[in-house]
Amino acid sequence: DFLVRSAALAAAGSLLAASEAYALEQPLPFVPERVLPRANEPVRLGVIGTGGMGTEHCSALMRLQKGGKADLQLIALADVCQPRLNEAEQKVIAGGATWPIRKYTNYRELLDDPAIHGVLIAAPEHWHAKMVEAAVAAGKGVYVEKPMTLRLNDALRLRRLVESNPTALVIVGTQRVMSSVYQEAAKWIAAGAIGKATSSQTSYCRNSKDGEWLYYKIDPAWQPGVNLDWREWCGPLGKADWNPEVYARWRRYRKYSTGIIGDLLVHQLAPMMQVVNAGWPTRVIASGGHYVDQAMENHDQVNLNIEFEGGHTMIVAGSTCNEVGLETLVRGHKANLYVAGNKLTLRPERIYAEEVQEKTYDAPNLGEVQDLLRLNWIECIRGNQKPMSDVELGTKVMIVADLATRSIWEGKAFGYDPKKHKAFKI
């Protein structure tokens, strides 16, 4: 037994190193220069993945268009499921579309359309990497839902792709980076207001009576081989028997999602990592359990401990079985910075009370943060702004998400080498 376990662990370590090496060494596709919309031309968009989140994006984009906040046209939709495609089309029409809407069951055909400037990808996580890479190679400006990828090796490859092509545009849907309270917090810390930022904590916790993500309904109209291409949906992860539970609620399953970590915690990780600005994660250890929702394969309670190269430790809690989270704060050598809603509060450490002044800040409400990120993406497509939730941040977040997931399942700590961009088991 000992020899078998040792061999398995050694093999897992080798596969881990090989996975990152593959991402760093494989050739990248040719990326053409993006064609920017003309000054008086609407930004023409497509949406890939018209499930719950994708359809909400369709409605939100049409609200921005109808409200005069963005000059755009949502002209194309793609999904493997015809009923979902039809529903999304009706949402776009109800939102005020006066132009033809093209529908595709194969996303590659949507990417072939030269009229499209930008593509929003809201497909399941296991498709993110391939779709983003294909969209970048097609010269589109990309908005991809969080998490950026399912696995770390894919994130490293996308980072390399964007780094190698200065005109490539990829924004990750971690919209809380647009919050004015986090942006102000980052300024205070960068200015030394709390001294050395030594540690921080945050969380994303919620509760349900029946189980998380079960609100995604199963439609009896779905018929694989008739109006749904199940084999294409499985795609990069290989063949699987038809399972409507997996199709509708894939976030509950280990093969298709990292669960709480990738779907919820990334929302807090992204802005907090920008706030403390401590560089690359270097060590991650996590624990989790199935305490209430025994039917869900992914965990319903997780706790993460993350160390950064800049000398900082972040503690993150996530739950789908209890809604009481941790107070969001950054601890410094001289003072502590509390984030609560749109309010910042800086309180000095006792021994620095005469040197550091307590202060508060009420951040302005600039609008719904997800709309702000959508608008940032649209302006980036025009070439007028820089992405606020870029691939560099997305990669750092994915290091945490991927290594935390491995840590929970394998019961080990994991490290990351920022110079070699390789993960390793500790």
User: Residues 102-140: pLDDT tens digits?
Assistant: 999 999 999 999 999 999 999 999 999 999 999 999 999
C-alpha to C-alpha distances, 268 to 229, 318, 325, 339, nearest whole angstrom: 34, 10, 12, 12
User: Residues 321-378: pLDDT tens digits?
Assistant: 999 999 999 999 999 999 999 999 999 999 999 999 999 999 999 999 999 999 999 9
What element of type H or E holds 230?
helix 230-234
Mean pLDDT across the chain, nearest whole number?
94
At residue 185's C-alpha, the angle toward residues 183 and 187, to 5°, is: 75
Q: Say yes or no to pLDDT of 4 above 80.
A: no
Q: Which of 37, 43, 115, 119 is nearest to 78 (CA)?
A: 119
Share of the chain above pLDDT 70, in %: 94
Q: Please report which confidence band the pLDDT of residue 263 belongs to, taking 50, 70 and 90 as the band edges.
A: very high
Looking at residue 384, its pLDDT comes to: 86
What element of type H or E holds 360?
strand 359-362
Per-residue DSSP letter, 42: P
Looking at residue 9, its pLDDT comes to: 47
Looking at residue 26, its pLDDT comes to: 86
User: What average pLDDT does range 258-266 have in this prediction?
Assistant: 97
Q: Which of 411, 410, 403, 415 is nearest to 155 (CA)?
A: 403
Q: How far is CA 154 from the centre of its chain?
A: 13
Looking at residue 6, its pLDDT comes to: 47
C-alpha to C-alpha distance for 11 and 4, rounded to whole angstroms = 11
User: Residues 60-95: pLDDT tens digits?
Assistant: 999 999 999 999 999 999 999 999 999 999 999 999
C-alpha to C-alpha distances, 143 to 44, 117, 316, nearest whole angstrom: 13, 11, 26
Q: Tell me the CB-side half-sphere exposure of residue 121, using CA atoms within 13 A.
A: 30
Q: Which amino acid is at 318?
A: G
C-alpha to C-alpha distance for 124 and 268, rounded to whole angstroms = 20
Hey, how many other C-beta atoms are within 10 angstroms of the C-beta on 223? 14
Looking at residue 174, its pLDDT comes to: 98
DSSP-H helix ranges across 139-221: 152-163, 180-190
Looking at residue 1, its pLDDT comes to: 44
Q: Say yes or no to pLDDT of 8 above 90.
A: no
Higher-pLDDT residue of 144, 166? 144
User: Residues 386-414: pLDDT tens digits?
Assistant: 999 999 999 999 999 999 999 999 999 99
User: What average pLDDT does range 170-176 have in this prediction?
Assistant: 98
